[in-house]
Amino acid sequence: MRVAPNSITTMKQAPSKRDALPANERLRINEVFYSIQGESRPSGFPTVFVRLTGCPLRCVYCDTEYAFYNGEWYSFDTILDEVADYGARYVCVTGGEPLAQPNCRAFLKRLCDAGYQVSLETAGALDIADIDSRVTVVMDIKTPGSGEAARNRLENLSLLRSEDQLKFVICDRADYEWSCAFVDEHDLIDSCCVLFSPGQGTLEARELAEWILADRLPVRFQVQLHKYLWGEEPGH
């Protein structure tokens, strides 16, 4: 289930007043829904998505602005019950920017302890240290076309492991060239999986694929599978 923009969470259980929940075991949730993972390495697997409220960035192409403010407070236990109801193996914690809520780290650990294959989607502007080592980190590098390139936290690069993924959303040719130079400068190909995605509505997927092939670039091209399947339809 996914809420339409400007409404609030679809959790089956009623939200709680924030102060009625344990301070270190609560999160503000925008939505929890079940869909096909459309990006990154587990692309194609049925996945439960837990979207946290809030993001300190304002990328020009953002398609989840409804997550900036809308959401309700839930205890970890309630969220875990909701996740369990879907019976999925994969859980993706996303946003907004999930790390903007400090309790996110403890919640990731609880998901791992419960036996899920857990991934975290983060914008790369906040510190990714001290994330449970069982979590796969999918981190953005914001390109100039996003309007938020100044927010990239370069210290995070040295914390990425081979199972983690680094995603560039590329809006145009200038973004592509900037991204190639960034990958080179930071020697990223051998440190993690590098993903290049076309910016939705700003760059044809085929054009990006052709640039990658022409340059013999060893990055992974990806399109947003869920948008291919369902477009902007709510619920996915």
Q: Which residues bind to ligand SF4, rule: CB under 6 A?
A: 55, 57-59, 62, 64, 95-97, 123
CB of 96 to ligand SF4, least distance (A): 5
CB of 65 to ligand SF4, least distance (A): 7
Instruction: Catalogue the long-range contacts made by 128-131 (C-beta closer than 8 Å, 24 or more residues apart).
Output: 128/99, 128/156, 128/159, 128/160, 129/159, 130/105, 131/105
CA-based torsion, 73, 76, 77, 79: positive or negative: positive
CB of 61 to ligand SF4, least distance (A): 7
CB of 60 to ligand SF4, least distance (A): 9
Enumerate residues 6+ apart whose C-beta is below 8 A from 26: 16, 18, 73, 74, 75, 76, 103
Q: DSSP label at 60?
A: T
Nearer Cβ to ligand SF4, position 55 or 203?
55
3-state secondary structure of 220: strand
Nearer Cβ to ligand SF4, position 99 or 183?
99
Nearer Cβ to ligand SF4, position 141 or 193?
141
Nearer Cβ to ligand SF4, position 53 or 78?
53
Nearer Cβ to ligand SF4, position 42 or 199?
199
CB of 93 to ligand SF4, least distance (A): 13
CB of 214 to ligand SF4, least distance (A): 28
CB-based contact 219:195 (threshold 8 Å):
yes
Q: Which residues of 48-68 are buried (b: 16+ CB within 10 A; e: fewer)?
A: bbbbbbbbebebeebeeebbb
Nearer Cβ to ligand SF4, position 11 or 55?
55
